[in-house]
A and B are shown apart, each in its own frame.
Chain A
């Protein structure tokens, strides 16, 4: 069983740039969720994808967008980066409709915006 992987592990961007973060879900999972975790805070839900469709969205502006692919991997895109976008971005996969309730997280991508 392959766990959740994310790339890259670290990234430095400048304000106004665009960034794409990637996530491969755990084998057998059909749902991917993205979270932003600022320093000293708990993860904040960005959005969730189920079978390539957005299945819920948190309080984040439209410049945060995503995709899910047929193999259930996913991308998070952030346009017009702002300094406050500096955070750890976590991806979590789960099986929607399955018996398991828990989400399995990847190691995260640490984004620094200067």
Chain B
């Protein structure tokens, strides 16, 4: 069984500062993938970044980076230079083994203050 835990229900950050959203995971399968999605109030889930369990380097996509610590089973999302438009729900998700079906965490609400 796979499990995703997001312990921060809400986070606040000042515009232009960096913020880290926590995600821990659990799986017995050595092959897995980790995802982060953004969900604005409109409801659509927007794919942000992907990290494979065998990837040697941390994934980066523009202002988003994934701090992957395999031994700790954590996959934190780092958003640099926060913008007002970053205010949204953020979900961590994982799929493991041969399954293409991800399990989602409960999400973290991020509010960016001007």
Contact = CB atoms under 8 A, between A and B. Distances in A.
Given A42-B91, A42-B107, A43-B91, A106 B102 contact: no
Contacts, number: 54
Contacts of A44: 104
B35 interface: yes
Contact of A108 (B44, B47, B91): B44
- Best-surrounded residue of B50, B52, B104 (most CB of chain A within 10 A): B104
30 contacts: A31-B100, A33-B101, A40-B106, A42-B4, A42-B91, A42-B104, A42-B106, A42-B107, A45-B101, A45-B102, A48-B101, A56-B100, A56-B101, A58-B101, A88-B43, A90-B45, A92-B45, A94-B100, A96-B100, A101-B33, A101-B52, A102-B47, A103-B47, A103-B102, A104-B47, A105-B46, A106-B44, A107-B42, A108-B43, A110-B43
